[in-house]
Amino acid sequence: MRLPAIASRCLVSLALSGFTLSGFAISSFARPQGPLEPESLGYVALEGIDTSGSWALALVGGDSQWLEVPQLAGLVRHYPTLTALREDTRGDLQGALQSLRAGVLESPHFEGPNGTLIRAGLARGLQIVRERALQRAQSGLVPATDLFQPRNRGAGAVVSSTIWFEGSEHQVVLSRIERPAPDPNGPPGLAAGDGRELVYATLNEALEFRYVALLVEDLFTDVRAEPLLRITQRLESYDRGWTNYLAHGFSQYPWEVWANSAWTDSAWDDPPRRQLILMHPELAFLADLRSSRRASLDETLLLHVAGLTHYFGDERDWFLGLSASTSIPGEEGLGLGLGATVHFGHTKTRSLVPHLSLGVVWHDTDASSKGPFVTLGVDLWRLADATPDGPFERQRR
Amino acid sequence: MVRQTVFLVHGMGSHPSGWDKSFRKSFLGALRQWAPFDGVSAREIERDHVHFVPIEYDSVFEGYRERWRDGSRSVLNRARSESSEVGVVLDFLAQNAEEDAGFEDFFWSHLLDPLLWFSSKQARQACVAHVLAQVGAGLRDMYARERTNTAHVVAHSQGTSVIHDALIALRHWDGHEGLFDPAGHRWKTVAMVANVSRLLEARFKLDHNAPREAYKAYRSVLDPGRADTIVENFFNARHAADPFLMPRRFRPGNWPSFGYTDIEIVRFKDVKKVHDFEHYFEHPSVHLPILRSILGRQGMGTQAEISRVWNEYIQRHPTAASIEFDHLRDLFGRDPDAKLKVQKLATYLWAAWKELSA
């Protein structure tokens, strides 16, 4: 056995006895300085390893072709199969992680000079994930599996696509590449990928490490499924709320869009509950209802000078508003009218006129008297909408 | 076989459905220049290696566009028939449109999106909500399909600002049950092509959970060097002659080299195309590092391949940028940190667009 390997095993023994290897604890850095060098952890670069062939992806890649190599079947025989792990332990995440850890500690396959370190790193990773899962579950958070996500770090001279537990004292790096300097006559800053490859794990170790990581990922995918469904439903609900507000709510002229942006409260996950109405013109019918003999129906232009609309429902399903309005009738003989308008609409109704504006205005008449007129408003913008679904939805169908 | 999930985000302007075809073509065309993908068909790559998720936000702006452009024409024409005063105003607008040819079209097709995104809180929030609904669905599909996190983002132009805000909003959202905190989910690759996230930085709070500061381009959780980062590898690609990047370039001084890659390119075939995604992605210095990160193949691209691809590239792109559009910098007084107002931004975008379309 080579001396560095003996040294590394001694260091692992110390680590397992409760000492840290080097004092590198990621939490102690305000700003991580990047992955630790494998050598600083006592790793030995293995030489004479054939890194060609599809199995080499187990060392370097994010690709999963390595799962197809025949060696894998023999290597992982003593681990629970993916299916068994999912079916038997879905309700017992802690137990599943414990049994995986036991499998790692008992495995005969960590035989290379770095085998002890890699096994210790993997076992420690499983232990931390288990402890964290427990803590997060107690805080109402979904258990996380970030430790078992391989990191793909660096685009410069030294890169690695297979770092686990990055920056911690039990970091595991299966391999990395030292690239040559970029060709000055070549593309700027682009170093070739076929540099010197430094390998720190044997094929068996790399395969087994990645297989266990895969089992952990798979296990957590099941744990994650239900919360993820809830979360996506919530996100879709916010989007629908915004669509209802923008497409089916009380329409807004450009100045109203900016006024509402500036003065009403909202968030991306909380579509507006209130909408300001400001200098909002609207076509309306005007009914003179002072007496049945004078009853008539004329067109008028209503100008809602100022008002407020409130939206109800989680997805802003309907609205009710009130505005101070002025009426500019087309009929000669009627002067300017002043009054109030109530706005109502159901944003989920896919009709051409999804809302109504019903008001009362007082007009001067030829007879020098003021009288109440009833107005029924029509949303000009909705009339002008070209598509049946309205704007904001064309690409959502 | 596990496929990498690539969320594609488009740039400014109108993007009707099917917009992602050219992005995919560029991506796959670039990938097929390198072993072991050189003999593999685009269809096989999509079947075995990469799954694309197009993310659009254009429908939000299209909503405003349709309602204001088509609606205003309809409403004003109706009014014109009844009022001679409205007719006079419409004639005046038509005369001015002729004098400044193309402005109206440019306004509706390109300018409205960044202006609304930049200046209207509600448009920005609606956009973020719309993008996150798609991102959430895409991630759910990804976990169901691949059973692990293989999520990457490739965004262009205004899409860089949109996805920037959306990813930060998702991280700070109090409804994600821990699933999108750094321990729960990290984006493997975030590739910003023609990054305007600093130019179009949020001017208002987007949510109740995070301060405005959280959305600052240089200080956000997208910085891969932060302990609480949500990104493993961040790529920032810019063309030296891209006029849309001149006012406020994205160039963070203290982001770490192990997670942040800054790529500046200078060559072009047609200077009017320098802002196009396809033009950017043709450059090996842009696409190869991004593809290495997405495919998890750091060894991809041998010296011989790089020489071949580079020689082919420079034959197609013979010119190197020097002072193209340099005069545009004067519009901002050559001050990259000058306070940006909506009118100034609109003036600049219009000037840049005129240069690119001259």
- Give the DSSP per-residue string, A277-297: EEEEEEEEEEEE-S-GGG--E
Q: Residue B88 has what pLDDT?
A: 53
Q: Out of A180, A186, A193, name the one closest to residue B299 (CB).
A: A193
Q: Residue B189 has what pLDDT?
A: 95
Q: Residue B20 has what pLDDT?
A: 96
**Cα separations in angstroms, B80 against B85, B92, B143:** 8, 13, 56
* Closest C-alpha to A11, from A39, A30, A31: A39
- Is B136 in Cβ contact with A62 (below 8 Å)? no
- Is B256 in Cβ contact with A32 (below 8 Å)? yes
Q: Residues in chain B, how many? A: 358
State the nearest Cα–Cα gap between B297 and chain A, in angstroms: 5
Instruction: State whether residue A125 sits within 8 Å of chain B by CB.
Output: no
Q: Out of B66, B188, B310, name the one closest to residue A386 (CB).
A: B66
**Burial of A23 by CB count in 10 Å (0-12 exposed, 13-18 middle, 19+ buried)?**
exposed
Q: What is the average per-residue pLDDT within A5-12?
A: 40
- Is A132 in Cβ contact with B225 (below 8 Å)? no
Model confidence at A5, pLDDT cuts 50, 70, 90, reads very low
Q: Residue A126 has what pLDDT?
A: 95
Model confidence at A385, pLDDT cuts 50, 70, 90, reads low
Model confidence at A169, pLDDT cuts 50, 70, 90, reads confident
A residues 228-267 near B, CB within 8 Å?
228-232, 234-236, 238-239, 241-242, 245-247, 251, 254, 257-258, 260-262, 264, 266-267
Model confidence at A9, pLDDT cuts 50, 70, 90, reads very low
Task: Say yes or no to pLDDT of B299 above 70.
Answer: yes
- Chain B residue nearest residue A182, CA to CA: B303
- Chain B residue nearest residue A144, CA to CA: B184
Model confidence at A366, pLDDT cuts 50, 70, 90, reads low
Model confidence at A21, pLDDT cuts 50, 70, 90, reads very low
Q: What is the 3-state secondary structure (H, E, C) of chain B?
A: CCCEEEEEECCCCCCCCCCHHHHHHHHHHHHCCCCCCCCCCHHHHHHHCEEEEEECCHHHHHHHHHHHHHHHHHHHHHHHHHCHHHHHHHHHHHHHHHHCCCHHHHHHHHHHHHHHHHHCHHHHHHHHHHHHHHHHHHHHHHHHHHCCCCEEEEEECHHHHHHHHHHHHHHHCCCCCCCCCCCCCCEEEEEEECCCCCCCCCCCCCCCCCCHHHHCCCCCCCCCCCCCCCEEEEEEEEECCCHHHCCCCCCCCCCCCCCEEEEEECEECCHHHCCCHHHHHHCHHHHHHHHHHHHCCCCCCCHHHHHHHHHHHHHHCCEECCCCCHHHHHHHCCCCCCCCCHHHHHHHHHHHHHHHHC
Query: Which residues on A lie below 8 Å from B265 (Cβ)?
Result: 188
Task: Say yes or no to pLDDT of B250 above 50.
Answer: yes
Q: Residue A326 has what pLDDT?
A: 93
Q: Residue B55 has what pLDDT?
A: 97
B residues 66-125 near A, CB within 8 Å?
66-68, 70-72, 74-75, 78, 82, 119-125
Q: Residue A282 has what pLDDT?
A: 87
Task: Name the residue with higher pLDDT: B238 or A150.
Answer: B238
Lowest mean pLDDT among B61-70, B84-93, B105-114, B158-167: B84-93
Count of domains forming chain B? 1
A residues 34-93 near B, CB within 8 Å?
34-35, 60-65, 67
* Closest C-alpha to B133, from B183, B190, B175: B175
Q: Average pLDDT over chain A, rounded to whole?
A: 80
State the nearest Cα–Cα gap between B206 and chain A, in angstroms: 5
Q: Out of A235, A245, A391, name the one closest to residue B66 (CB).
A: A391
Model confidence at B32, pLDDT cuts 50, 70, 90, reads very high
Q: Name the amino acid, one letter, at B132.
A: L
Interatomic CA distance for residues A10 and A1, integer angstroms = 13
User: Quick check: B77 and B32 in contact, CB under 8 A?
Assistant: no
Model confidence at A163, pLDDT cuts 50, 70, 90, reads confident
Q: What is the CA radius of gyration of chain A?
A: 35
Model confidence at A4, pLDDT cuts 50, 70, 90, reads very low
* Closest C-alpha to B35, from B285, B270, B308: B308
Residues B197-237: pLDDT tens digits? 999 999 899 999 899 999 999 999 999 989 899 999 999 99
Model confidence at A367, pLDDT cuts 50, 70, 90, reads low
State the nearest Cα–Cα gap between B355 and chain A, in angstroms: 27
Task: Say yes or no to pLDDT of A144 above 70.
Answer: yes
Task: Say yes or no to pLDDT of A291 above 70.
Answer: no
Task: State what percent of residues in chain B have pLDDT above 90.
Answer: 58
Task: Say yes or no to pLDDT of B83 above 60.
Answer: no
- φ/ψ of A279, rounded to 5, equals 45, 55
Q: How far is CA B162 from the centre of its chain?
A: 7
Task: Say yes or no to pLDDT of A18 above 50.
Answer: no
Question: For chains A and B, what is the number of CB pairs under 8 angstroms?
Answer: 297
Q: What is the average per-residue pLDDT within B1-21?
A: 91
- Is B298 in Cβ contact with A31 (below 8 Å)? no
Q: Residue A371 has what pLDDT?
A: 74
Q: What is the average per-residue pLDDT within B118-144?
A: 96
- Sequence-ordered alpha helix ranges (H) in A61-176: 71-75, 82-89, 93-106, 115-138
Task: State what percent of residues in chain B have pLDDT above 70.
Answer: 90
State the nearest Cα–Cα gap between B227 and chain A, in angstroms: 6
Q: Residue B330 has what pLDDT?
A: 76
- Reading the block at residue B173, the tokens are 């959202």
Among positive and negative, which fits the CA dihedral A147, A144, B290, B219?
negative
Cβ atoms within 10 Å, residue A183 = 15
Q: Which DSSP letter does residue A244 get? A: I
Task: Say yes or no to pLDDT of A1 above 80.
Answer: no
Q: Residue B91 has what pLDDT?
A: 57
State the nearest Cα–Cα gap between A65 and chain B, in angstroms: 7
Q: What is the average per-residue pLDDT within B105-115?
A: 81
Interatomic CA distance for residues B187 and B198, integer angstroms = 20
B residues 242-271 near A, CB within 8 Å?
256-259, 261, 263-266
Instruction: State whether residue A138 sits within 8 Å of chain B by CB.
Output: no
Model confidence at A222, pLDDT cuts 50, 70, 90, reads confident
Task: Name the residue with higher pLDDT: B280 or B253.
Answer: B280
Model confidence at B127, pLDDT cuts 50, 70, 90, reads very high
Q: Residue B195 has what pLDDT?
A: 97
Residues A70-103: pLDDT tens digits? 777 777 777 877 667 766 666 688 888 988 999 9
A residues 272-291 near B, CB within 8 Å?
272
- Is B175 in Cβ contact with A395 (below 8 Å)? no
Model confidence at A300, pLDDT cuts 50, 70, 90, reads confident
Cβ atoms within 10 Å, residue B262 = 16
State the nearest Cα–Cα gap between A168 and chain B, in angstroms: 12
What pTM does this model have? 0.89
Task: Say yes or no to pLDDT of A307 above 90.
Answer: yes
User: Quick check: A287 and A373 in contact, CB under 8 A?
Assistant: yes
Interatomic CA distance for residues A136 and A144, integer angstroms = 8
Task: Say yes or no to pLDDT of A173 above 80.
Answer: yes
Q: Residue A29 has what pLDDT?
A: 36
Q: Residue B256 has what pLDDT?
A: 85
Interatomic CA distance for residues B223 and B230, integer angstroms = 8
Q: Out of A142, A194, A271, name the one closest to residue B303 (CB).
A: A194
Task: Say yes or no to pLDDT of B47 above 60.
Answer: yes
H helix or E strand, kind and range, residue A183 = none
3 state SS of A321: strand
Cβ atoms within 10 Å, residue A298 = 14
Residue indicated by tokens 């060894």: B299
Model confidence at B311, pLDDT cuts 50, 70, 90, reads very high
Model confidence at B353, pLDDT cuts 50, 70, 90, reads confident
Domain that holds residue B91: 4-357
User: Quick check: A314 and A350 in contact, CB under 8 A?
Assistant: no
- B59 torsion bin: left (phi>0), alpha (psi -120 to 50), beta (else): alpha
Dihedral of the CA atoms A149, A154, A160, A162 (nearest 10)? Answer: 0
State the nearest Cα–Cα gap between A171 and chain B, in angstroms: 16
Task: Say yes or no to pLDDT of A26 above 70.
Answer: no
Q: Residue A12 has what pLDDT?
A: 39
Residues A191-204: pLDDT tens digits? 998 888 889 998 88
Task: Say yes or no to pLDDT of B284 above 60.
Answer: yes
Q: Residue A32 has what pLDDT?
A: 55
Task: Say yes or no to pLDDT of A354 above 70.
Answer: no
Interatomic CA distance for residues B217 and A213, integer angstroms = 34
Task: Say yes or no to pLDDT of B140 above 80.
Answer: yes
Q: In sequence order, which residues have a C-beta less than 8 Å from that of residue A95 and are 6 or more positions away?
A: A89
Interatomic CA distance for residues B283 and A187, integer angstroms = 8
Q: Average pLDDT over chain B, rounded to whole?
A: 87
Q: Residue A83 has what pLDDT?
A: 67
Q: What is the average per-residue pLDDT within A261-272?
A: 95
Q: Residue A305 has what pLDDT?
A: 95
Q: Out of B71, B124, B209, name the one closest to residue A385 (CB).
A: B71
Task: Say yes or no to pLDDT of B42 above 80.
Answer: yes
Interatomic CA distance for residues B264 and B283, integer angstroms = 10
